[in-house]
């Protein structure tokens, strides 16, 4: 199993960042390069506890589907999404939010994942997936920050 953590500082109130992070359309906008879209479950609007969404996208040269569920949710401190079905043996993404002085939010992503296929999966994790997943999360967080900061400025 692999473990990745990312910290992003966003100049917007914690409630704005939390709520925006749960918007399906914001997520798909952040993943435009892969053509990611919601094709099942909740396909627009804001996700809530126990909501499921099925994503379809093209990653690493192939089309993938993954259904995830919001398994934990405490506004505005954290939420967790976990794979119900899809390409990973394990996928768990915890999103933590901390309000700081001056209307700043520190967002921390904690991702635990495992590829299928035992030894081949472990090799794929180290050689490809760590870097690829890191790039996707950084791209997503930059997109999210831009939207939150624009909303806060308005």
Q: What CATH number is given to the structural domain containing 130?
A: 3.30.530.20
Contact criterion met (CB below 8 Å) for 152 and 16: yes
State both tokens at 143: 């997109």
State the Cα–Cα distance between residues 117 and 101, nearest whole angstrom: 46
The answer to whether 105 and 17 are in contact (CB under 8 A) is yes
Q: Structure tokens of 138?
A: 């950084």
More confident residue, 45 or 119: 45
Number of folded domains that form the chain: 1
Domain that holds residue 58: 2-153
Does the global pTM surpass 0.85? yes
CA distance 42 to 27: 13
- Computed over every residue of the chain, the mean pLDDT equals 96
Region 59-77: mean pLDDT is: 96
């Amino acid at each position: 199993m692999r473990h990745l953590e990312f910290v992003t500082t966003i100049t917007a109130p914690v409630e704005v960042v939390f709520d925006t992070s749960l918007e399906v359309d914001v997520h798909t906008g952040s993943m435009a390069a892969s053509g990611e879209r919601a094709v099942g479950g909740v396909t627009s609007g804001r996700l809530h506890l126990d909501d499921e969404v099925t994503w379809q996208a093209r990653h690493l040269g192939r089309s993938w589907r993954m259904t995830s569920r919001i398994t934990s949710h405490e506004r505005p401190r954290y939420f967790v999404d976990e794979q119900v079905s899809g390409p990973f043996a394990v996928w768990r993404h915890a999103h933590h939010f901390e309000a700081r002085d001056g209307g700043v939010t520190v967002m921390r992503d904690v991702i635990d994942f495992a590829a299928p296929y035992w030894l081949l999966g472990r090799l794929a994790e180290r050689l490809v997936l760590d870097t690829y997943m890191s790039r996707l999360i950084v791209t997503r967080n930059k997109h999210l920050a831009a939207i939150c900061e624009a909303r806060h400025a308005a």
